[in-house]
Chain A
């Protein structure tokens, strides 16, 4: 192993990337863990917002529909970097003002929670549209049949609408998840030590920019490949019962 690295001239890089100091590998992995934690939280939070948003847009009253239209339009119009700055500083400021007004003094807001909240709100706007489209793609007769047999609204959503729309929503949601993993890099701007910021620090300290950014790129690629496999399984499962577009011999 050592010999191979030596002959390829990669011994130095291997040393820099090793998990124990003086290598920076552990820092990178910690950054990755933070990134994934935020991406996961933000994606989940976004899904919850998206589900309510989609139902609100489809079945809500005029006021609800208008408010949701403003939400999705504004969030999707403003660049994410700007949104992150706005939501991060506004969010922390509001929480601090509330806490001070109640006499608690300034509170320290955890980077993970702030990141999930900021990216979750961004994801929610896109999720709303993905899920709205998917719900509308469900044949209305299936929802009508459930109503005709006396299913209450929440059970209908859980037993019929969500499983039936899943196959339409999965490709869009897979996109959103991958965007979430990479949007975590934008949180570097508010000083959150996710993968990109950890990489930059490691690179700046060692001057081995190429090595570290290549390694970070590889980590992002691995996340994407694993996610792809997971989403492929989810999609296959959610499409059970639907004949393949390629014909029955596949």
Chain B
């Protein structure tokens, strides 16, 4: 694993309190198949880490292990400096700790996963009101601001099934923002969209990056990754093959596999 990595070199004294995510030697197997073979990653507050790689490289699995949607097989995960307690087999010791940490990680899915029996506004206020116990009126005010921000204020009372994929994904981003997450996890947010709808979603994510949101972004959009990321990680068959600042990684890929990968995805 290459460790020529700007974020790891940055050993300022305030490192621990500025640390958003630290993953150490993460392994994950599905039965006999080892999908992650020891992946380590650090993200400081304000970092936008793009995770790229071919199909089956383990990039989505890696992201889903961070909030325990997949149970890791072994390794260590720290969120805002707090270590998630795991048993030796990787299963969580304390369900409540996982739930508490999950509320700090706003996740956006490839398939949007909005709750179809609730309107956009209801989707956005659901977690603040019921999980975080924010007063309903306050949550509604904030949800309106967020929907406005993603350009969906006039769709607040519409059900997700009546909207385009791009609109649904923007609503899903508003839902993730509603918990005021310390880190946002994007799992291929544009892969399920028609090409002409990709732009509107990327615009929203670009704005979030510009305002200094910490993000982990699994994506196939190389141009976008290069533009918004502060750090890019290339995964190959469950290991970090190469990582570094986007300009370096995309201009001067050292590993032959990354060169090949960048050639095929154009």
Contact = CB atoms under 8 A, between A and B. Distances in A.
A73 B126 CA distance: 39
B131 A155 contact: yes
B123 to A, nearest CB: 9
Interface in B155-202: 159-162, 175, 179
Contacts of B179: 149
Nearest to B128: A149
B130 A151 contact: yes
A101 B189 CA distance: 66
Contact of A242 (B67, B103, B116): B116
A163 interface: yes
A139 B111 CA distance: 10
Contact of B159 (A139, A141, A241): A241
Contact of A147 (B69, B100, B106): B69
A141 B111 contact: yes
Contact of B99 (A139, A152, A166): A152
Given A145-B107, A241-B159, A241-B160, A151 B117 contact: no
A148 B67 contact: yes
B115 A164 contact: yes
A160 interface: yes
A162 B109 CA distance: 22
What range describes how many residues of B lie at the interface?
20 to 34
Given A141-B111, A155-B130, A240-B159, A149 B117 contact: no
Interface in A128-164: 139, 141-142, 144-152, 155, 159-160, 163-164
Nearest to A248: B162
A145 B115 contact: yes
Contacts of B127: 149-151
B87 interface: no
A145 B113 contact: yes
Nearest to A237: B117
Nearest to B107: A148
B115 A151 contact: no
B122 to A, nearest CB: 10
B153 interface: no
Given A241-B159, A243-B161, A151 B99 contact: yes
B79 to A, nearest CB: 12
A242 B162 CA distance: 8
Nearest to B158: A241
A144 B105 CA distance: 14
Contacts of B111: 141
Interface in B99-157: 99-103, 105-107, 109, 111-119, 126-127, 130-131
Given A142-B115, A149-B179, A242-B116, 11 more contacts: A145-B114, A147-B69, A147-B102, A149-B106, A150-B102, A150-B103, A160-B115, A164-B115, A166-B117, A167-B117, A241-B117
23 contacts: A139-B116, A141-B111, A142-B116, A144-B113, A145-B113, A145-B114, A145-B115, A146-B115, A147-B102, A148-B105, A149-B102, A149-B175, A151-B127, A155-B131, A160-B115, A163-B118, A164-B115, A164-B116, A241-B116, A241-B118, A241-B160, A242-B116, A242-B159
